[in-house]
Amino acid sequence: MTDLLEHPLGARPGKPGDRGAFSFETITRLPDAASGLGRDGARYGRTGIIHTPHGDIRTPAFVPVGTQAAMKGVLPETMRELGAQCLLANAFHLFERPGESVLDAGGGLSKFMNWDGPTFTDSGGFQVLSLGAGFKKTLAMDVTGKKSDDIIAAGKERLAWVDEDGVTFKSPLNGDEHRFSAEISMGIQHRIGADIMFAFDELTTLMNTRGYQEESVERTFRWARRCVAEHERLTAERVGKPYQALYGVVQGANYEDLRRRAASQIASLDFDGVGIGGAIEKRIIGNTCAWICDAMPENRPRHVLGIAAVDDIFACVENGGDTFDCVAPARCARNGAIYTHRGRYNIKRAENKLNFEPLEAGCGCYTCTHYSRAYVAHLLRAREINGFTLATIHNEYFFVHLLDDIRASIDGGYFEQFRDESLAHFYGE
């Protein structure tokens, strides 16, 4: 084990974690402009550094999702080699298995999975939606369809029920009934031990009614206050552990007044950062980030939850997003969808059977420098694990380095040119 894994910053025997081990500093800020979506033409896009007990994250940055403390088919060492700075795991799934007490006994998430860098955990709030309404993980959405608070995805049944105190749900693994609340989520995430964790929130869909969205925003705020109080209690109680940063989550769907209200509420609490969450209509995703950043202190990092569409990433970066996570690159890879700077294609199509070129010409990832389209296509058709591995390495490399290149363009003063050229190439001029 490295010293970084054994001795994270801010962990002192017999003492609470040192909050000073977590901080954010801005390096370069995009200049305000007439086209800026923030207050008085503000553009909140920036580069910076998130300092955590397990190392720094240079932002903007993409955060690959290792749901169960693992990238499917890819070792942590490989994720580091392809350029990933940090990883995100899912508190709900780790609660289900192996159990948060196992990670706690194993020295926390980073040490448990042998990842020598910062980690995130989401709060389990997404399961309120996925188990309740049964929809797939989607952030940028449209508003087609009937508004209903009882809507359920086709072929699904409701497995989660929300009340004022929290959520009762049935395990998708074995049907056992469990309970999540602000305090329970904080306890689970503290024992998992990620550097950055999120307050327990209620995620709604764009198909919920305005009335329910209002109720949900207020409920999420009440849960947020409880999360802050429990986080402070557990930080003081769990001595000898590194400090874990807590981000509040802003909900409000596609309503500007609700997003601004929720942002002001979260900004009023003693959070270390903010998560921009919930379903957001794609056409206003940049506006939504700007509305939220209008209310946020500059020294709090901003994480956009669950997005990996290239145009959405550019819109969110320009309007204040610092870090981004999504399962899509790995999930798409396992199904044969390959991301390139000229768009996305299906590697399993017939024309790739005898194509011995790399997945993308000029790509520097391990897969492209060692293997051909024909080989990866063969592995995926045969459902060989190596195919999942090689395709995932390429897709994760694409998004990690896309954010690296965006960061360089902001520091270098050519963001607009890079944005326009990148989007023209990806979406076919």
DSSP string, 370-403: H--HHHHHHHHHTT-HHHHHHHHHHHHHHHHHHH
The secondary structure element, H or E, covering residue 302 is strand 302-305
Write the burial class of residue 337 (CB in 10 Å: 0-12 exposed, 13-18 middle, 19+ buried).
middle
Residues ≥6 apart with Cβ < 8 Å to 245:
22, 52, 195, 196, 197, 272, 273
Residue 171 is predicted with a pLDDT of: 82
How far, CA to CA in Å, does 75 sit from each of 78, 131, 166, 322, 398? Answer: 5, 29, 35, 25, 17
The answer to whether the CB of 376 falls within 8 A of the CB of 359 is: yes
Q: Is residue 394 part of an annotated ligand binding site?
A: yes
Residue 168 is predicted with a pLDDT of: 85
Q: Is residue 163 part of an annotated ligand binding site?
A: no
Could you check whether the bond before residue 301 is cis, i.e. omega within 30 degrees of 0? no
Q: Is residue 122 part of an annotated ligand binding site?
A: yes
What angle is formed at CA 283 by the lines to CA 224 and CA 339, rounded to 5 degrees? 95
Using CA of residue 297, residue 301, residue 305, residue 311, what is the dihedral sign? positive
Q: Is residue 125 part of an annotated ligand binding site?
A: yes
What would the two tokens of residue 236 be?
Answer: 């003081």
Is 122 an annotated catalytic residue? yes
**How far apart are alpha carbons 361 and 24 in whole angstroms?**
36
**How far apart are alpha carbons 247 and 321 in whole angstroms?**
14
Q: Is residue 126 part of an annotated ligand binding site?
A: yes
Q: Which of 104, 195, 322, 325 is catalytic?
A: 325
Q: Is residue 278 part of an annotated ligand binding site?
A: yes
The answer to whether the CB of 47 falls within 8 A of the CB of 58 is: yes
Residue 128 is predicted with a pLDDT of: 56
| Number of residues assigned to the chain | 429
Residue 137 is predicted with a pLDDT of: 43
Q: What is the pTM of this model?
A: 0.94
Q: Which of 104, 122, 294, 312 is catalytic?
A: 122
Decide yes or no: CATH 3.20.20.105 for domain 3-326: yes
CB atoms near residue 70 (< 10 Å) = 15
Q: Is residue 132 part of an annotated ligand binding site?
A: no
- Indicate the angle between helix axes 210-237 and 256-267, nearest 10 degrees: 20
**How far apart are alpha carbons 323 and 289 in whole angstroms?**
12
**How far apart are alpha carbons 156 and 416 in whole angstroms?**
43
Each residue's pLDDT, cut to its tens digit, for the chain (429 residues) gives 445 566 799 999 999 999 999 999 999 999 999 999 999 999 999 999 999 999 999 999 999 999 999 999 999 999 999 999 999 999 999 999 999 999 999 999 999 999 999 999 998 776 655 665 555 544 344 555 556 666 666 776 777 788 899 888 888 788 888 889 999 999 999 999 999 999 999 888 788 889 989 999 999 999 999 999 999 999 999 999 999 999 999 999 999 999 999 999 999 999 999 999 988 899 999 999 999 999 999 999 999 999 999 999 999 999 999 999 999 999 999 999 999 999 999 999 999 999 999 999 999 999 999 999 999 999 999 999 999 999 999 999 999 999 999 999 999 999 999 999 999 999 996
Q: Is residue 363 part of an annotated ligand binding site?
A: yes
Is 325 an annotated catalytic residue? yes
Nearest Cα neighbor of 52 from 323, 307, 326 is 323
Annotated domain spans of the chain: 3-326, 337-419
